Chain A
Amino acid sequence: MDILLNSGSTLVIIAAVVGLFMAWGIGANDVANAMGTSVGSKALTIKQAIIIAMVFEFAGAYLAGGEVTSTIRKGIIDTSFFVDSPELLVFGMISALFAAATWLLIASALGWPVSTTHSIVGAIVGFAAMGVSVDAVTWSKVGGIVGSWIITPLISGVIAFLIFNSAQKLIFDTEKPLQQAKRWVPLYMFLAGFVLALVTIKKGLKHLNLHIGTADGFIYAAIIAVIVALIGKFFISRIKFDETAELKTHYANVEKVFAILMIVTACCMAFAHGSNDVANAIGPLAAVVSIVDNGGQIAAKSTIAWWILPLGGFGIVAGLAIFGHKVIATIGQGITHLTPSRGFAAELAAACTVVIASGAGLPISTTQTLVGAVLGVGMARGIAAINLGVVRNIVVSWVITLPVGAALSIMFFWMMKGIFA
């Protein structure tokens, strides 16, 4: 107990530094996955992608990151086990951060597609189950989280399949695809704006002490969505179409309309990613800060310190600014046959799924949700070729990440106990 009073601020600084590093890593590496489809289908330039990512990742982290952060902070572990020795929880959370950061560094160097979410959840479960007691883990909650990792890619796949098919029905398989695109694309923008605004209003704004009623929430979300759609419509009206291509069923012009839509879905994707993944970096930090601030009391109801979410957002933006350019540039080159009309369906489906998960406080993997969505579009015969080997690697990586994250975190946990206690 004394350790918290004597070295409390040191521990907070350590946690903050590692948390910031994690956020930085998420910004530098992970964001590439969120923005990759937009850059890959040439709807955005790298510069535009970085700017959008900076703004919307921060907004997502700050406005809608609270619920998942709470889950990471106190949802996975049964804190009643730590009432007598709160310093163990502090050590554990810092170890979990170290473990996840280490594993991400190794995986990035080797080019493995690991998920920050899985690393941190594995790490927290690891130190609590092995370092303290198997019962210290709220297994029902962990079960729910792991279940969500299987279900969310499925859900986003189904949504992507439906969105893509609806676009085929409404736009592509019609007499005049271009006119149809101009008419219906703003509706998709409305949909994207509505889901994001609603989740943010209903779940995200709590920590800003803004409480908005259910009916009002829907109205505000609808208003924001209408504004988004109108802005989109304005930009669509300004596209210069290649009239010569219009003669037959050439879809180049239609894709230009979808490219505008993809800017909107890219914003959504960045927002969704920020809202879900910021917690991986700062959830453990939030736990450490709340314990130290309360002098060792594990307060069940305490709110997240005001500076933590912005710190996470800042870390992500910093990672983007410094390394994002390089990472997004490498992915921008590889892509061959991804047109905006497919990219948007995958992105919209994934963004909606992730943001809803964020609202529900479920830490899920953005990448896997997006892969699920891509497979959904593939099922609708929309993508020329999907590399199932890579899909398998992504699935395998999360199965491996859990035990590795756990093992590393146990190691760090014992080290910290040795050093401080």
Chain B
Amino acid sequence: MARNSILGVFAKSPIKPLEKHIRLVVKCSNQLIPFFAACSEQNWSEAAKVRRKLSKLEQDADALKRQLRLELPGGLFMPVDRADLLELLTQQDKIANKAKDIAGRILGRKLEIPASLQEQFNAYLARCIEATEKAAEAINELDDLLETGFRGREVELVEKMINQLDEIEDDTDTMQIVLRKDLLALEGELNPVDVIFLYQIIDWVGDLADLAERVGARLEILLARK
């Protein structure tokens, strides 16, 4: 008798799961902070433990992503474009993947951040993770956006958040340039192969902020359509 009723018309909302997904993703990338803390103390067993936790969160996010995709079949009438929504989801998921790659690469090579760069690197990492948190904050406005029919003040609020996100990302770019320059100065003292991978890690951490910015951009596109 349930199918008989009007409520069959209302399909499951993708908004809550999407918000949940980015919260998982941010939680996952946040693990990088205790992870690098353990690495700097050369406590590799602790680092491995954190990485396992991070990897578990990444898997959860993956599962949620897949479930959300399955629950968004073609014949849904939504206030936002389905393709945009799925693209946003893909972008969100890439953040978690990147965090997992970073932890994996560091742990695999037992790669150490040079002591003199430690503080600078931590600030850079924190800022990049801040970008992902900002992206999550913007995504979490989606339910309020639905309340206001995706227009008006609420859209302005979200656009403000996306602007802040862009600023953070700009910031991380500057920090990255300084960090690379300082690493260049140290290169002679370090194992050349480690240096190559250090550059890669710096790149990848920066990618966290880049991807977060792209989530913001996707959200903007989502809002701009229609």
> Which residues from chain A sit less than 8 Å from chain B, CB to CB?
29, 32-33, 36-37, 40, 107-108, 111-113, 164-165, 168, 172-174, 249-251, 254, 327, 330-331, 334-339, 341, 367, 370-371, 374-375, 378, 380-394
Contact = CB atoms under 8 A, between A and B. Distances in A.
Interface in B10-55: 10-16
B203 interface: no
Interface in B192-222: none
Contact of B4 (A111, A174, A387): A111
Contact of A383 (B4, B7, B79, B154): B79
Nearest to A165: B149
Contacts of B11: 384-387
A327 B1 contact: yes
B2 A111 contact: yes
B13 A173 contact: no
Contacts of A337: 10, 12-13, 15-16, 146
A33 B144 contact: no
Contacts of A37: 6-7
Interface residues of B, number: 34
B78, B148, B152 pick with most chain A CB within 10 angstroms: B148
Nearest to B142: A384
Contacts of B13: 336-337, 384-385
A170 to B, nearest CB: 12
B181 interface: no
B5 A173 contact: no
A334 B7 contact: yes
B188 interface: no
B6 A370 contact: yes
Interface string B138-149: 000000101111
Contacts of B75: 387-389, 392
Given A370-B6, A385-B78, 19 more contacts: A29-B4, A32-B4, A33-B6, A36-B6, A108-B4, A168-B151, A168-B152, A172-B148, A172-B152, A174-B153, A249-B153, A335-B10, A336-B10, A337-B16, A378-B77, A384-B14, A384-B79, A385-B72, A387-B77
B179 to A, nearest CB: 35
B144 A40 contact: no
Given A111-B1, A335-B7, A385 B12 contact: yes
